[in-house]
C-alpha cells in the first residue's frame, strides 16, 4: 500500500521519525511518501526547517496567505491521488484537508488526522476552534499525539477503536551520546567558567523565551529560591522576545546566568551540570530532553501546556505546583534540601525518557497504519 503523510514544513526533529517509519513500512511491503511544504517567512528565521528532500521526504512549494492562516501546497492533489491512505495534520489552514474531506464524502479516498486535537494556546470558543472540533471526526482514522488527545477525540464522538496513540517524541539518541561524553572534568570546567562554586545547586531552563513560557514568573521564583537557598543558581538557555528580561536579571543578580542558545556539547554540558529542569510555563517536547539528562521537570498548572505534559507524573519524575511563584519556589527548595527525594526524581525522570522514545513512536505509528489497513480489508 502507498501512504502519504502531509506536513506543512519539514522540521529537523521529525526527519528521524519519518526515516524509521519508511524502513519499517517497507519491510511490510508498504511505500511511504512524506510531502512537506516550504516554511512561511516567520518560520524561516528559526533555522530548524529542512529544505531538501531525502529518500522518504519530498519538498513542495507552499503558498501562505493571511499571515499563515491559509496554506496551499503545490501538487497536493497528485499526491492525494497517488496514495491509498493520506495522513494529514489536523489544522484548518491546509487547503488540501478540504479536498480530502470532499473526496472522503464521495468515497474516493481515505484519510487520517494526526495531531493534538485542539489548540491549547488558542481560544476554544473561537470560530476556528469550533470548526476544528466539528471537522475532527470527519476522517477514517486518528493518530493522536498522546492518550489525553485520544480521550478528547473520543469525547467528540469518534470511535476509540480507530484511534492510535503515538506518544509524540523526538530523537534523543544523539543527545544521550553527547551527555555521556561530558566527563566530570568537563562539568567542573563549565561551572568554573560561570563562576559557580562547588556548592552551587543548578536549576536549568532551556527553551524559547516568550510569554507562554512565563519567563518573568521563572525569574521572580528564582529570587525566592535564592533567598531561601543562597547556593541556588539559575541557568537560562535559549532566545526569543523575552531575552531582554533575562539579560536585565542576569546583569542585576549574579546567580542568574544567561547563556543564549546552546547546541551540541555546550548544550549537553549545561544539562549535565544541572540538577533540575525549570519550566513554570508551557511544557512541550523539551520534557524529553530533561528526562534524557535525568532532570526532573518543575512546572505549574497553567491550562495551555502542550499534550506532552502528560508525561509528567507529579512526585515521580517531576513536580507540578499551583501557578504561584511562592509555591513553585518552595517546591524546588524542598527538593534541594532532600537528597533522597532529588535522587528518586532524577532516577525516575531518566527511566521515563526511555518510555517515550522516537523508536517507540515510529512503531506505534506503523502499527496504527497496519491496523487501519486490516480494518478496511
> 123 is written with which cell numbers?
481560544
Q: 330 and 363: one domain?
A: no
Identify the CA nearest to 19 among candidates 286, 366, 355: 366
What tens digit of pLDDT does each residue of 279-327 get? 999 999 999 999 999 999 999 999 989 999 999 999 999 999 999 999 9
Mean pLDDT for all residues in the chain: 93
Identify the CA nearest to 193 among candidates 257, 237, 262, 247: 257
Q: 39 and 97: one domain?
A: yes
- Nearest-5° angle of CA 244, CA 249, CA 252? 125
The percentage of the chain sitting over the pLDDT mark of 90, rounded to a whole number, equals 82
Sign of CA dihedral 18, 24, 26, 28: negative
Q: 181 and 160: one domain?
A: no
Local confidence band at 122 (pLDDT 50, 70, 90 cut-offs): low
Task: Answer whether 118's CB lies under 8 Å from 131's CB.
Answer: no
pLDDT in the model for residue 286 = 94
Task: Answer whether 35's CB lies under 8 Å from 76's CB.
Answer: yes
Local confidence band at 123 (pLDDT 50, 70, 90 cut-offs): low
Local confidence band at 124 (pLDDT 50, 70, 90 cut-offs): low
Q: 95 and 152: one domain?
A: yes
Q: 182 and 147: one domain?
A: no
> Which three-class secondary structure state does DSSP give residue 43?
helix
What tens digit of pLDDT does each residue of 178-199 get? 999 999 999 999 999 999 999 9
CATH number at 87 reads 3.40.50.2000
Q: 154 and 12: one domain?
A: yes
Q: 153 and 208: one domain?
A: no
Identify the CA nearest to 320 among candidates 272, 282, 350: 282
State how many domains the chain has.
2
Q: 191 and 153: one domain?
A: no
- Lowest-pLDDT range of 27-41, 120-134, 213-227: 120-134
What tens digit of pLDDT does each residue of 330-367 get? 999 999 999 999 999 999 999 999 889 999 999 999 99
Local confidence band at 130 (pLDDT 50, 70, 90 cut-offs): confident
Q: Does residue 44 register a pLDDT over 80?
A: no
pLDDT in the model for residue 320 = 98
Task: Answer whether 94's CB lies under 8 Å from 7's CB.
Answer: no
What is the model's pTM? Answer: 0.86
Q: 344 and 365: one domain?
A: no
The percentage of the chain sitting over the pLDDT mark of 70, rounded to a whole number, equals 96
Q: 280 and 332: one domain?
A: yes
Q: 157 and 201: one domain?
A: no
pLDDT in the model for residue 133 = 80
pLDDT in the model for residue 87 = 98
Q: Does residue 266 register a pLDDT over 90?
A: yes
Identify the CA nearest to 179 among candidates 376, 350, 363: 350
> 21 is written with which cell numbers?
517509519
What tens digit of pLDDT does each residue of 154-183 get? 999 999 999 999 999 999 999 999 999 999
Q: 338 and 194: one domain?
A: yes
The domain of 231 spans 173-355
Q: Does residue 8 register a pLDDT over 80?
A: yes
Amino acid at each position: 500500500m502507498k501512504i502519504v503523510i502531509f506536513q506543512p514544513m519539514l522540521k529537523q526533529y521529525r526527519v528521524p521519525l519519518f526515516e524509521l517509519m519508511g524502513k519499517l513500512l517497507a519491510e511490510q511491503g508498504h511505500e511511504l511518501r512524506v510531502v512537506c511544504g516550504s516554511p512561511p517567512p516567520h518560520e524561516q528565521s528559526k533555522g530548524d526547517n529542512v529544505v531538501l528532500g531525502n529518500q522518504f521526504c519530498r519538498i513542495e512549494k507552499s503558498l501562505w496567505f493571511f499571515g499563515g492562516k491559509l496554506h496551499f501546497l503545490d501538487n497536493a492533489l497528485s499526491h492525494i491521488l497517488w496514495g491509498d491512505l493520506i495522513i494529514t495534520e489536523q489544522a484548518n489552514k491546509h487547503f488540501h484537508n478540504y479536498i480530502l474531506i470532499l473526496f472522503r464524502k464521495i468515497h474516493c479516498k481515505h484519510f487520517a488526522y494526526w495531531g493534538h486535537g485542539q489548540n491549547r494556546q488558542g481560544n476554544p470558543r473561537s470560530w476556528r476552534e469550533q470548526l476544528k472540533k466539528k471537522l475532527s471526526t470527519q476522517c477514517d482514522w486518528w493518530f493522536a499525539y498522546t492518550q489525553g488527545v485520544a480521550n478528547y477525540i473520543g469525547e467528540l464522538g469518534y470511535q476509540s477503536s480507530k484511534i492510535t496513540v503515538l506518544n509524540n517524541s523526538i530523537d534523543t539518541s544523539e543527545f544521550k551520546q553527547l551527555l555521556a561524553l561530558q566527563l566530570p572534568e568537563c562539568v567542573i570546567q563549565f561551572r568554573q567558567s560561570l563562576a559557580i562554586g562547588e556548592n552551587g545547586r543548578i536549576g536549568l531552563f532551556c527553551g524559547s523565551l516568550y510569554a507562554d513560557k512565563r519567563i518573568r514568573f521563572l525569574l521572580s521564583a528564582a529570587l525566592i529560591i535564592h533567598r531561601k537557598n543562597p547556593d541556588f543558581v539559575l541557568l537560562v538557555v535559549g532566545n526569543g522576545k523575552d531575552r531582554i528580561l533575562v539579560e536585565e536579571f542576569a546583569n542585576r543578580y549574579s546567580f542568574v546566568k544567561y547563556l543564549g542558545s546552546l547546541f551540541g556539547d555546550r548544550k549537553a554540558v549545561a544539562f549535565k551540570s544541572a540538577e533540575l529542569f525549570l519550566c513554570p510555563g508551557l511544557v512541550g517536547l523539551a520534557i524529553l530532553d530533561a528526562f534524557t539528562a535525568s532532570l526532573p521537570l518543575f512546572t505549574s498548572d497553567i491550562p495551555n501546556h502542550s499534550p506532552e505534559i502528560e508525561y509528567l507524573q507529579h512526585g515521580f519524575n517531576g513536580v507540578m505546583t499551583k501557578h504561584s511563584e511562592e509555591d513553585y519556589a518552595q517546591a524546588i527548595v524542598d527538593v534541594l534540601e532532600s537528597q533522597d527525594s532529588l535522587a528518586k526524581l532524577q532516577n525516575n525522570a531518566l527511566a521515563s525518557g526511555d518510555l517515550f522514545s522516537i523508536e517507540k513512536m515510529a512503531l506505534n505509528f506503523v502499527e496504527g497504519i497496519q491496523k487501519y489497513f486490516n480494518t478496511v480489508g
